[in-house]
Amino acid sequence: MTMGSSQVDSDSIYGGIDKRIIKEDYRNFDLITRFWHGTYRGKIWKHNKSVGEIEGDSLEIILQNLRDQVDKIIDERLENRKAKKPTQGEIVDAFKAVENKIPEIQKDVLLKHANAADSCLTINQIQKMADFDSTTEALLAYACIAKRLCDEIGYWPHATSGQDPALSIILEPSPDQGSNLVLNKETVAAIKSLGW
């Protein structure tokens, strides 16, 4: 499941009872809504622990309320952090926290990228390694990973010219408009320490 995507396990209402269960991966949290014991309920899960629960009038309303609660949690992290750049240890911890949400092929590409000469690959090389349909898809995959790390840490980098600001948590600034992507030293060390 990709970041922010929803999955409905059952689309049926059986005997007047709504049997649908909606699961969503939202900003590294798992959201689940369902009709249970006579009411619509939703839970927020993080690392297999419940961190929030609400009741409401419909699955869709509950799901939006759960997203709002997650947004508040991450906003609090951002506020408490005061835009302080993450340490290498925090990046390692963030990778560990989200690694089960990163597809294996993307982990493989990141590891090859970390082990490449000067930790540099072209966007075309990344596209071919992961069998993406386009270089845009390859860059979006990196942006998704970067956003996961930013959400986990509670950090949002300042915008840099021509690229998604979140990418700066994993990539060096690109003077050539992104055709060569260089992983920063903190990300290289983090990836190598994970044992992928």
What is residue 1's predicted lDDT score, i.e. its pLDDT?
A: 42
Cα–Cα distance between 50 and 104 in angstroms, integer?
A: 26
What is residue 2's predicted lDDT score, i.e. its pLDDT?
A: 47
> What phi and psi, each to the nearest 5 degrees, are found at residue 69?
-65, -40
> What phi and psi, each to the nearest 5 degrees, are found at residue 20?
-70, 145
Which letter does DSSP use for residue 168 in this model? G
DSSP secondary structure string for all residues of 44-83: EEETTEEEEEEEES-HHHHHHHHHHHHHHHHHHHHHHHTT
Which residues face 54 on adjacent strands? 42
Domain residue ranges in the chain? 6-81, 88-194
pLDDT tens by residue, 14-65: 556 788 899 999 999 999 999 988 899 999 999 999 999 999 999 999 999 9
Query: pLDDT truncated to tens, each residue of the chain (196 aa)?
Result: 445 666 655 555 555 678 889 999 999 999 999 998 889 999 999 999 999 999 999 999 999 999 999 999 999 999 999 889 999 999 999 999 999 999 999 999 999 999 999 999 999 999 999 999 999 999 999 999 999 999 999 999 887 666 788 999 999 987 665 689 999 999 999 999 998 8
Question: The pTM is what?
Answer: 0.85
Counting beta carbons within 10 angstroms of the beta carbon of residue 116, is it exposed (0 to 12), middle (13 to 18) or buried (19 or more)? middle
